[in-house]
A and B are shown apart, each in its own frame.
Chain A
Amino acid sequence: MKRRYFLAMAGASLLYPFRGILENTYRSLGLSNDQSSSKKYILINVIEAPARWMFDTILKPTNAHGFVQGKLIPTHFKKTGSAPFDFEYDYGFHEVNGYQFPYMWQFDIPTADGKTTPLSNLAENMFIVRGCDMVLDGHEINNRRLEAPSIGSHSISGLHDANTSPLFGCLSLEGAREAGTAAQAYSSPSTNRTIIKDSTENYIEYLLRPFIERASVNSTIVDKAISEALTSNKDSHIGKKLNSNEQSKKRAANIINQHHQVITREYNDNVKKYQDLINRSIQRTNILGLTDKRVPGLKFPLELKKKFHQSGKAFEKVDYLGAYKEIDYLVLADDVRTMFDTAEIKGLAKQMALAEVSLKYDLTSSININVDCLRNMKTKTTKLEHISMTHEGDVVHFKLKSSDVVENLGLRHNADSHKCGSLTSLLCDTLFWRAMASCTYELTRSLKVASTELWNNSLIHLTTEFEREPGDIDKGSHHGFTGHTSTFLSGAVKKTEVIGNIYTLSHDPTDVSPGCGTWGKAADVKSLGNRKMVYGNISSSISNFLGCETPLPHEKKVFKLKNGKITSLIEAPENKEFMEKNLKTEKAV
């Protein structure tokens, strides 16, 4: 190495110590976003990825966009008859603020005042990002990536908490899933999440009780000594965390001691409020084209015409009867709608109630909610294995193997509907999303009423691991991990917007059912360099809104916050034709 070159490198490396000065200058010039202290992030994570094509996966943004209706991608019944299998599906649209939203958006949802409101009101502050390719298959890995997109690094909420020093670290409302979800992926350089288990009777009491008990003991001199000891260690990595906790603890104690009665009362009222919204959204609904008419369940003995797969193979029992499947059970109700009279979404009311008070009283900066599926749908049912199938010419006969195989059970709708038929999924998923819409609408309304600033600084992220890809035969759907949708609600969203590109029709041989219709598979985005959007693009955008570091700094944002408004950074949404790409290394023929 030449001496001159060596000296130049050594001299230039002397710049390194000055990076601290540059950092402070960067901050003082306002280039770092110090507004982050007031930002709130709420991840509402519907685990196990139910279908969203009837709710917020916008398959055809406008009438100018291509759309191919898949036979197993319905939004409602075109007709329902009086016998099993006497129904026909349709996929309908309803215009909402210039976009073609799915069919259900033309109807009302229950509100907290006992009345209803058009579902389309929810879309006023809605920003939908569709067509995101999660690249990897799997519930656990993708659910965890919703919170921690860079595996092994700190998570979005964790980085946000590090920026904001909240009273309580991210409230992890785990629900029934205590492992393998976004909630457990939380990681922060400065604090820990606050885990609230599903088995906890009263969420707010769990949070506040330790502080109320603590308040009864006054030990100023002891607290002072502990603070002094922790401060002496404040520059170490551990010391920083402990000091941060100590500060949060003191602030929490002050707020809780002053307001715990009001907070507790409000939480208890909220639980009843949200439970009422959920019940009214699911039970005894009368939705045109869905639940306004009797929907007959299976009835035996049953005769159907013989069918064959495209390969020539004869249909199996599950292929014939699959539309009425809920995992291993067949729905035999005289009217399938009665299943929903007892249906519930466990824990959701408590979760939303806590989210509302936590945001209003500034108890936290981030919340992770794991939402459970529909449960306890009481119906007459039997297992597929209890049905016999015999052939007679072109006719297939189905019978119950014995009279005592019919049971009345409370079924659970598996959101991961590999083994749930199109009919049960259409009803279950639509009513489920209706309940989610109603609860989310109430949360947004409450935030708006509490404070415009709070609403403008809050980002509600309603999402799942990925969309679903319908099967070619009606016995269940599959992981559509190449198509993910994230829906955002915030006061910073000033008008309804949809971004992201999908394929009108994909013949990708790696799809489970190529050519099954438009379902939301990600297509290339020109603004991202003609490649598919990945979750890192979404997480960078979220981090930008929150004003915190992004876990994936090399991934471009697809939207950003500018002058208090969320704006798209990519082109308007397109529905593209699938073109199989050749590898660059392939020789031209």
Chain B
Amino acid sequence: MTYAILLFFSITDFSMGKSLFKSSTRTADKFYVYRTLEKVFGESNKSILVKNILNSPELFGGGCLPYNVSMKSEKFDLSDENFEDRCFNNITEIGSPAFVEMSVIRQVKTENTCNEILKDTKNIRHALALVSLSESSPIDLKSVKRTTNLFFYKKKQRETYSKIIVNNQIKTWRDVLLVLCKSPEWQIL
């Protein structure tokens, strides 16, 4: 009887539904993504970031402030203080969830944002300057590790990406920054 009970418990987890417990990842919201990319690549990319990131709370998460300064506005100036807190599409964005899981469309939108930003070499220079590098700096393990600091705060991730970038013999800083920017992992908290 005891053996039967133990055998029963040992096999029931796959026949009765082992993945029923729920867990969810915590992803960065639109404000975090916006701020990170603005910090890394410069304030001149605000319009790109508004179009792809701030406009999509259903993909990135993050509400908008229900105060006067944040009412939905057809026109606003990117130099307005706290413009990023506005409800860009609809006042219902006030209720957007704080965390939205990573989805295919979110990843593709992030990639498109990175592609668009990194078309401009000025943005590449801005990013590299933050870690005391320039476009003429050699793409070696040491330099690449410094650039991973721009996106990743976990040591393991920084090391993984550094090794992979160097091993794949990526030849331009643009491509190095694309790998880091387009990876969905830096948006996982």
Binding site for B on A (CB under 8 A): 8-9, 12-13, 15-16, 18-19, 22-23, 26, 150, 152-154, 159, 162, 167-169, 178-179, 187, 189, 191-195, 197, 199, 207, 210-211, 213-214, 217, 219, 221-222, 224-226, 228-230, 232-233, 237-238, 241-242, 245-246, 248-249, 252-253, 549-551, 553
Contacts and interface: CB of A to CB of B under 8 A. Distances in A.
B14 A228 contact: no
Contact of B105 (A179, A187, A194, A222): A194
B7 A15 contact: yes
Interface stretch (B18-26, B31-39, B120-128, B134-142): B18-26
Interface of B: 2-3, 6-7, 10-11, 13-25, 58-59, 89-90, 92, 95, 100-109, 111-112, 115, 160-161, 164-165, 168, 170, 175, 178-179, 182-185, 188
Given A154-B19, A199-B90, A549-B19, A229 B104 contact: no
Contacts of B2: 8-9, 12
B92 A229 contact: no
- Among B11, B23, B59, max chain A CB count under 10 A is at B11
B164 A225 contact: yes
B104 A187 contact: no
Contacts of A154: 19-20, 22
A553 B16 contact: yes
A248 B160 contact: no
A226 B181 CA distance: 10
Given A26-B14, A153-B20, A226 B112 contact: no
A139 to B, nearest CB: 17
A237 B188 CA distance: 12
Contacts, number: 150
B112 A210 contact: yes
Contacts of B107: 245-246, 249
Nearest to A251: B104
Contacts of A15: 6-7, 10
Contact of B108 (A23, A169, A210): A210
The 6 closest A-B pairs by CB, nearest first: A192-B101, A192-B103, A210-B108, A549-B17, A12-B6, A23-B14
19 contacts: A8-B3, A13-B6, A18-B10, A19-B13, A26-B11, A154-B19, A178-B92, A189-B19, A195-B59, A197-B90, A210-B105, A213-B112, A219-B175, A222-B175, A228-B164, A230-B185, A233-B185, A241-B101, A242-B188
A189 B14 CA distance: 15
A571 B168 CA distance: 64
Nearest to B59: A195
A275 to B, nearest CB: 23
A226 B179 contact: yes
A404 B121 CA distance: 67
A551 B17 CA distance: 8
A153 B20 CA distance: 6
A241 B106 CA distance: 13
Contacts of A549: 17-20
Given A153-B21, A154-B19, A12 B3 contact: yes
Contacts of B109: 210
Contacts of A252: 104
A130 B82 CA distance: 53
A537 to B, nearest CB: 16
A19 B175 contact: no
Contact of B103 (A8, A23, A194): A194
B160 A232 contact: yes
Contacts of B6: 9, 12-13, 15-16
A191 B18 CA distance: 17
A133 B172 CA distance: 63
B19 to A, nearest CB: 5
A179 B92 CA distance: 10
B178 A219 contact: yes
Contacts of A230: 183-185
A486 to B, nearest CB: 21
Contacts of A228: 164, 168
A219 to B, nearest CB: 6
B21 to A, nearest CB: 7
A19 B92 contact: no
B108 A214 contact: yes
A191 B103 CA distance: 7
A126 B91 CA distance: 40
A167 B107 CA distance: 13
B165 A19 contact: no
